[in-house]
Structure 1
């Protein structure tokens, strides 16, 4: 018999879900305004209607359709830092100008994500993205998607100039986007040359390599960037606080990606919304690296012969190795998750007590607790 949820807890869950929907809807309402600004710019530059229509279609197809977690995290972080007291209780609402600027920065991250995904899908020869054909697979697009990815990235700097040029944080925002873009592209490079789909060589894999790929390809832009942008927006000047934020958020991003790797293999497809393909696609995932580190010669031979092969029988043999008693991926992941949670919590608790005080930097523990609570023991 399923566990019963008491009515009060159930109502809290309903209220929380409703609040999340309202926040998302408000955030989504900002994007068409930004698209209109870009279209007005294109008009002022004398662009023909078919070019404007193409750009607008690319923006709308590639940017708003995901979970929007990165963009919403900018808004959430600004709200926590400006609108809550030391105990996490809300003291006020963001003003409309405060909200709009936070949301614009959030959409700039979503544009960065869109830029990465359009290019990544072409590099990986992917077929679908977010339940629809990848942009380059849309009829009539093909290689034009390369230029479209560049335009998605360029839109970021258009919005930063338009909305933040007179702000003290402007140069910091530019530097953040430039630095994190390069870091992400370096991570993508290491990933591409370590684990090309058409050439399987497990000798290139290692937990050290996995760590490098995850930190640079995912953690910086998905976890550190939203918080750093929020901190710059409210003019946090103490550079030590950015180091503290990075020291928490990069391990959190790595933990998130290890979860993702685990769910790809062991998550329920109906829950995570996809069928995992990391084994078939020769991904340098946490699971294969854990297995390689502990495999016997016989097990290593099985992995070498079957990993990265587009064959369900080969995939099954790899999963058998994962389940072997000397490897036992499930138990190792449970231990890793527990250790990561304790480590990240300790880093959060080590933040100075007054770091969250208004006028003393604006960095609050609740910012990081909110991230950790979203990620810990997630199932999708």
Structure 2
């Protein structure tokens, strides 16, 4: 997008849009909010939407800038891209609020999960629904007269549904009463990640920028396929870092083993392990006992999954790069290469 200074300035401008969009929502006459309700909604939005990395939201602006191929963005273009970016951060907040309840999580972004606050509890379910519904108000306010308005709404709803389906698959596979490693394989893993992560974290920001730039949704298929594969690589990296990453760098302690997650590592171990190693995995995976976790990690080390992952990452990078270079639009190629460069070899 230019120099680091320009990037920092653009990010600061993007962050600055949040208060305006929040205030417009709070003042919308459709809600007729009393003072107490307004204070609650404002605190709920701030608590759950602020504090993230903003990667998805800011990606809309970065992508749109790349699509303009060096031309400056007008104030209106930046603002509209920023609104779409914040709509993705709103969606992310909705998903996290609800996911934390389903996963019985305790902390998120260094603070208690919203539902864990004594004054919130199960009200968080409705808060998540409210956040999702407010996205439509935001998009309607600024895009109703745009030729791609219906495409935006359909895109948002479709991907929200796909992401919910991915969460459902994840819960079905990892639910305590149905835990069964025999169900864990690469097709199952790819399906979970495709729906839970790839569509909304990788495809949605790019698709929003493409629509804003005047591209037609029917031309997005090849781009979507590349971004789905990129999302799968990204999740495999997360799974690897959950086990082998440095908590001082990643900022979190991994729990995939005790949570019985269908991760890239367990799928690889099940495919590569001998009978004795498989028995260790079946006996210990999904248990919180530190000794059980250690035994699973020992099998990972015996199978040299660390090097196996690095080989997978390298081959995935090469395949993705080849697929990107097959696309006809040079500007779109640069967008996807930019995304790929950001995630390749990441440590957190």
Regarding TM over 0.5, the answer is yes
Distance 2:54 2:104 in 1: 24
Equivalence for 1:116: 95
Deviation of 1:19 (Å): 4.5
Tell whether 2:332 aligns with 1:364: yes
**Deviation string, structure 1 residues 57-114 (Cα, Å, up to 9, x no partner):** 11111012111100011110111111x2xxxxx3x32111000000000000111110
Distance 2:57 2:89 in 1: 6
Deviation of 1:206 (Å): 1.2
Equivalence for 2:32: 46
Deviation of 1:25 (Å): 1.7
TM-score using structure 1 length: 0.89
Tell whether 2:1 aligns with 1:22: no
Tell whether 2:287 aligns with 1:309: yes
Equivalence for 1:56: 42
Equivalence for 1:183: 162
Distance 1:273 1:197 in 2: 27
Task: Provide structure 1 residue ranges, at least 5 long, that are not aligned to the other structure.
Answer: 1-14, 85-89, 357-362
Alignment match of 2:66 (pick from 80, 93, 106): 80
**Deviation string, structure 1 residues 201-224 (Cα, Å, up to 9, x no partner):** 212211111100000000000000
Task: Provide structure 2 residue ranges, at least 5 long, that are not aligned to the other structure.
Answer: none
For the residue of structure 2 that corresponds to 1:364, the secondary structure is: helix
TM-score using structure 2 length: 0.96
**Deviation string, structure 1 residues 133-180 (Cα, Å, up to 9, x no partner):** 000011200000000000110111001111100000100000000110
For the residue of structure 1 that corresponds to 2:27, the secondary structure is: helix
Equivalence for 1:35: 22
Equivalence for 1:335: 311
Tell whether 2:45 aligns with 1:66: no
User: Which stretch of the first structure deviates more once superposed, 276-285 or 198-207?
Assistant: 198-207
Give the aligned CA root-mean-square deviation in angstroms: 1.3
Alignment match of 1:258 (pick from 236, 246, 253): 236
**Deviation string, structure 1 residues 316-363 (Cα, Å, up to 9, x no partner):** 000000011xx21112101110110000000111112xx24xxxxxx5
Aligned pairs (5 A) from 1:150-229: 150-197=129-176, 199-229=178-208
Alignment match of 2:115 (pick from 129, 132, 136): 136
Q: Cα distance 1:180–1:143, how it changes in 2: closer, same or farther (>3 A)?
A: same
Distance 1:271 1:19 in 2: 26
**Deviation string, structure 1 residues 267-294 (Cα, Å, up to 9, x no partner):** 1101011111111111110000100111
Q: Cα distance 1:233–1:275, how it changes in 2: closer, same or farther (>3 A)?
A: same
Alignment match of 1:269 (pick from 247, 250, 258): 247
For the residue of structure 2 that corresponds to 1:29, the secondary structure is: helix
User: Which stretch of the first structure deviates more once superposed, 282-291 or 363-372?
Assistant: 363-372
Count of residues paired in the alignment:
346
**Deviation string, structure 1 residues 177-232 (Cα, Å, up to 9, x no partner):** 01101111111111100112465321221111110000000000000000111111
